[in-house]
């Protein structure tokens, strides 16, 4: 057999084996390796079978149109779906170094035992409830059945599931395994490795990889989460301008025509959402509605311009409501809550919903209706329902959100457990390297250090400060190692340096203190920029005692080097403050970040 034919046949076997290993059926045309996305891996598999003679007779996976083998027609089909992601259950976000502690940020999370355990967020972006009976989570590619979900656990469309990774083993919890904490969170029998590791969600056969971070996720940062960024766009935000109308008997024949894009609502009132009466409203409709009608018709226009709705993969309606509603998109029914089967102009809700329930958004997955979006003008219409026309509480506040799951995982400085992820960072910029280390220097008077700064991340920019303040992307001097000469350090100097890059997390701040002892022993009583009085006593005295310096002569510098020394560096205003707000004026009442 010719060597080229052997190679092609081997490639066919490899591609087929790859599909069998994952066990996931490809649902997007062009997703040859069944990983739910059309990307460079599929192009590689496609290239193995490009113009292969055997594909004219065999059923090749790259023969996307099933005709005439693998050719340009098939490549066009693959290209059409390039970077398209098939909605499927995913490990949406996780935190491998959780340091949540009081006072809590709104997005910090403790487990039911009050511990800051690692956590894993699972998200179902599909329009089908996923039953996790027999599914697994694992951090070991050689043990796909490491931790089994308990029976009866489900993830409904558009919902999130938080699992803590706290190494709660069967041996330690034989009567409560899988471990369930007092707040109803399940815990795995493994922890997440901050240094980077494998992580996968495995289907009930113990072999099918539903989603994985492979070969491993990168090194993680404390209180920074990692996962799948959602390119989210709020089409209808809180405060959007709405046209609204309290229907009367004359509207009885309108039916649902008022929900259509082309309906003339020019005579309706307008105002920002939410609409209602009581608390949490922007547009009060109590005078028009209470004691008149329990129904309110609302239309909110939004314009996609020339954006192709096929770009998006998720559609979600977020609603605060009291007591019920029916929602429509471009004249087509979407969803309802607490609404009757028929909907005349004077409908009421089925019951009185507790007002406290309306204080938070209910998130409703509308993936099945994503095809109703259109380029240009769209209309979200809501038939709001009070339980009684005389009731004194009513609220309708909708938000309509679309999202596209990005292929490349990202870091999130703001974690969002239980919510769609925000845009994140592609990676972490590598640290700045300083050519000379921090220490004491005792050279001749004309001696100095030639200091260079460098960084290993392509496209990163180095910023540095000399006044103790923290450098940022917008603060500090720019140092370009390719063209800038070394920095001349010829006196006691504090340099703080950082590397930044758009779309990436900043490097950590490198702080080096270069202490020239000739400067130290000659330090003036009041260095420039430092306060000269205050704090309820005679005031500061920064200089070394001249008597001590003269008494010890040349040995004083060696004496200073023999003393254990700690350099504390921060903005001078954090030390001494303005209007008595620094550490020295306030003592232990004030807390500031410092480089030690």
- Residue 517 Ramachandran class (φ > 0 left, ψ -120 to 50 alpha, else beta): alpha
425 bridge partner residues: 411
pLDDT given at position 27: 57
* Rounded distance between C-alpha atoms, residue 354 and residue 335, angstroms: 20
CA 111 to chain centroid: 20
Residue 536, classed as helix, strand or coil, is coil
What pLDDT, on a 0 to 100 scale, did the predictor assign at position 174? 96
Q: What is the pLDDT of residues 282-302, one digit of tens each?
A: 999 999 999 999 999 999 999
What residue ranges of the chain have pLDDT lower than 50?
A: 1-26
**DSSP code for 340:** -
**pLDDT given for residue 580 in this prediction:** 61
- Lateral strand order in the sheet of 209-213: 147-148, 136-138, 199-202, 209-213
Q: What pLDDT score does 538 carry?
A: 64
What integer pLDDT is reported at residue 133 of this predicted model? 94
Contact 469, 449 (CB under 8 A): no
Gap between the Cα atoms of 403 and 411, Å rounded: 18
For tokens 């490349």, the residue is 408
Per-residue confidence (pLDDT) for residue 592, from 0 to 100: 81
Residue 328: the pLDDT is: 98
Short-list 276, 280, 279, CA closest to 290: 276
Per-residue DSSP letter, 56: G
Structure letter (DSSP) for residue 228: -
Per DSSP, the three-state class of 112 is coil
By C-alpha distance, which of 89, 90, 53, 88 is closest to 71?
53
End-to-end CA distance of the chain: give it in Å, rounded. 70
Give the pLDDT confidence score for residue 2 in this predicted structure. 33
Q: Say whether 41 sits in a helix, a strand or coil.
A: helix
Instruction: Write out pLDDT tens, residues 221-234.
Output: 999 999 988 878 89
pLDDT of 573: 80
Q: What integer pLDDT is reported at residue 7 of this predicted model?
A: 34
Tokens 């599929």 correspond to what residue? 42
Cis peptide before 215 (omega within 30 of 0): yes
Q: Quick check: 38 and 78 in contact, CB under 8 A?
A: yes
Closest Cα to residue 32, out of 3, 55, 7, 4?
Answer: 55
């Amino acid at each position: 057999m010719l060597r080229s034919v052997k190679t092609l046949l081997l490639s066919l076997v490899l591609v087929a084996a790859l599909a069998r290993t994952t066990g996931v059926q490809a649902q997007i045309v062009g997703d040859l390796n069944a990983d739910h996305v059309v990307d460079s891996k599929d192009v590689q598999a496609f290239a193995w079978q490009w113009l292969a003679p055997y594909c004219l007779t065999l059923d090749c996976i790259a023969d996307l149109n099933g005709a005439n083998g693998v050719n340009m027609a098939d490549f066009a089909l693959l290209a059409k779906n390039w970077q398209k992601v098939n909605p499927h259950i995913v490990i949406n976000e996780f935190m491998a170094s959780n340091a949540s502690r009081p006072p809590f940020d709104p997005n910090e999370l403790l487990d039911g035992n009050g511990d800051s355990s690692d956590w894993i967020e699972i998200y179902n972006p599909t329009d089908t409830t996923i039953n996790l009976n027999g599914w697994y989570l694992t951090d070991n590619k050689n043990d796909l059945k490491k931790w089994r979900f308990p029976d009866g656990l489900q993830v409904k469309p558009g919902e999130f599931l938080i699992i803590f990774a706290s190494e709660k083993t069967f041996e330690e919890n034989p009567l409560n395994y899988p471990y369930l904490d007092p707040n109803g969170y399940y815990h795995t029998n493994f922890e997440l490795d901050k240094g980077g590791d494998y992580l996968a969600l495995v289907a009930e056969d113990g072999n099918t990889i539903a989603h994985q971070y492979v070969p491993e996720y990168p090194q993680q940062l404390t209180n920074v989460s990692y996962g799948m960024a959602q390119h989210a766009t709020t089409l209808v935000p809180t405060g959007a301008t709405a046209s609204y109308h309290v229907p009367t008997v004359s509207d009885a024949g309108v039916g649902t025509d008022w929900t259509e894009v082309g309906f003339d609502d020019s005579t309706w009132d307008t105002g920002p959402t939410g609409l209602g009466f009581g608390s949490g409203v922007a547009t009060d409709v109590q005078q028009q509605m209470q004691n008149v009608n329990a129904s309110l018709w609302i239309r909110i226009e939004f314009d996609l311009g020339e954006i192709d709705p096929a770009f998006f993969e998720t559609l979600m309606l977020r609603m605060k409501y009291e007591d019920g509603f029916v929602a429509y998109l471009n004249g087509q029914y979407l969803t309802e809550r607490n609404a009757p089967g028929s909907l005349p102009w004077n409908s009421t809700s089925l019951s009185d919903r507790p007002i406290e329930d309306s204080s938070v958004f209910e998130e409703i997955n509308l993936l099945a209706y994503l095809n109703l979006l259109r380029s240009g003008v769209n209309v979200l219409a809501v038939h709001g329902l009070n339980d009684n026309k005389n009731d004194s509480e009513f609220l309708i506040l909708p938000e309509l959100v679309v999202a596209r799951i990005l292929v490349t995982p990202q870091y999130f400085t703001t974690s969002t457990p239980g919510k769609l992820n925000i845009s994140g960072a592609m990676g972490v910029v590598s640290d700045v390297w300083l050519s000379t280390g921090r220490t004491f220097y005792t050279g001749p008077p004309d001696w100095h250090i030639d200091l260079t700064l460098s960084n290993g991340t392509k496209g990163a920019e180095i910023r540095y400060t000399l006044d103790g303040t923290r450098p940022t992307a917008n603060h500090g001097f720019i140092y370009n190692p390719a063209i800038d000469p070394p920095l001349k350090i010829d006196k006691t100097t504090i340099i703080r340096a950082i590397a930044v890059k758009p779309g990436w997390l900043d490097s950590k701040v490198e702080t080096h203190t270069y202490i020239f002892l000739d400067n130290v022993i000659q330090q003036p009583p009041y260095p420039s920029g430092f306060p000269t009085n205050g704090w309820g006593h005679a005031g500061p005295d920064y200089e070394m005692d001249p008597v001590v310096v003269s008494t010890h002569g040349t040995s004083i510098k060696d004496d200073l080097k023999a003393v254990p020394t700690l350099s504390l560096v921060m903005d001078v205003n954090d030390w001494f403050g303005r209007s008595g707000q620094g550490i020295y004026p306030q003592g232990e009442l004030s807390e500031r970040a410092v480089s030690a």
